[in-house]
Amino acid sequence: MSIDAQSKGTTPADDGIPTPAPAPTEPTPEPKPGTTSGPAGRGTLRPLLLRLHFYAGLLVAPLLLVAAVSGLLYALSFQAEKLVYRDELRTSVGERVLPLSDQVAAAREANPDGTVTAVWPSYEDGATTRVLMTSPEVDEGLSLAVFVDPYTAEVRGELASYGSSGALPLRTWLSRLHVDLHLGELGRHYSELAASWLWVVALGGLLLWVGRRRRARRDLVLPDRTATGRRRTLSRHGVVGLWAVTGLVLISATGLTWSRYAGENIGALQDRLGGATPAVSAALSPGAGDGGGHEGHGDGGHAGHGASHEGADFGIDNAVAAARGHGVDGRIAVTLPADGTGYVVKETDNEYPVHLDAVAVDPADGRVIDELRFDDYPLLAKATRLGIDVHMGVLFGVVNQLALAGLMVALILLVVWGYRMWWLRRPTKDARLSFGRPVPRGAWRRLPVTALLPVAAVAAVAGWFVPLLGISLLVFLALDLALGALSKARKTPAGPPDTPSGADAPSVTGAP
């Protein structure tokens, strides 16, 4: 996954492109379209992949670096959150757990102007109960989480809480940094552009690395210990990219599911394939509100916000008991009834094996009016749910978070090594400051039509489905054409004033 794979003074085994030879006495003809050049066995797609990888790595790598650093911080925020907010999250174990109604009453007493919308009961010994409320004290899209001691009903603290994940201020801030750099909708373009190109750079780099010739097979999967200088950097870059490519592609794909433009296309395709995420219905009568929410990533609130239930209510404790009678137990979230809807009790254990069953309970008599089992999710909805949980670092708990952190470190190293290789390719005898040379142009002209047409078709489909990828690809193409025209203009000397332009000018071999 190198930003470039060509170096001054290298051999064909080093980067796949022969070392430039001294100028021949006879002009060297241009390769005809559809022919290959270089050592035997080189694929016709390799030069094109090399150039695409170079430009994508050079121009998109800064975005990938920002996403990797912020993603690393987010992956570590789960454990940091337990330390920073330990006073709110944990308490001493008491003799018995008080009824949930008493704990909710304590939260209401501490915040008389708020409206309780959901309750996350204590799920293990020493864990506090989280009562979520609407409140003018928190920003739109957030809830006020009141942490209540389940043994004494003492309020342990209050914090802003985000979405169905229950992220607290530290993790919420890092999440927004990763998603949009705290720039709102404008900032989301950065993360979508990074996710759009990550899989392209990763898979292109994999093909380039696997297709290289090497002295020993072990050099494919382990760094070359005999290499020095740029070849050593290339070896490290390629090996780390090889080991990280699967995770990088998975992160890219799952990240695109909640992006703005590509996410809409993915959602529409998922719906057409019957893979939409189902939701439990809490409506007490036809046409009433739905108490279930989409169980995907980024649920910014809870059903029933800003509304209140009117009529008979047999209480939250009885609703939880009814849900447990139907197998919904363990770590749960209870959404309180609003006008026209009942209680919704959902399992929230995202760690594998996941427990995400849900039921809706009639507040008047405790009758279960709807239920939804995770086993009943469409296969595509299950895959999406699990993929998103992997991306968010919750599916396998601490192991998942450490794996994400390691993957982000790998991506940071890949970017740094890529830029280092580019820097090492700079002309060292130039008096002025110079940067690394680009990969030679004209790679696409060496493709046979039978390969060029499928490549163009794949690029068009990918660009349509992932719009920011398509737009930026066109920008790269325009930039490449502009640089080629500029290079040609600089290399072609102007003819004498009394001579037709270019009549006696020497030919420029290798012109774009």
Give the integer Cα–Cα distance in Å for 346 and 298: 17
Q: How many CB atoms lie within 10 A of CB 249?
A: 16
At 3 the pLDDT is: 44
Q: What is the pLDDT of residue 54?
A: 85
pLDDT tens digit sequence for 487-512: 778 777 655 554 444 434 333 333 33
pLDDT given for residue 301 in this prediction: 38
- pLDDT at residue 286, as a whole number: 63
459: left (phi over 0), alpha (psi -120 to 50) or beta: alpha
For position 213, what pLDDT does the model report?
A: 86
CB proximity list for 416: less than 8 A, separation 6 or greater? none
**Which residue numbers in the chain have pLDDT < 50?**
1-42, 288-306, 498-512
SS3 345: strand
- What is the Cα gyration radius of the chain? 29
First to last CA, the chain: 26
DSSP assigned state of 397: T
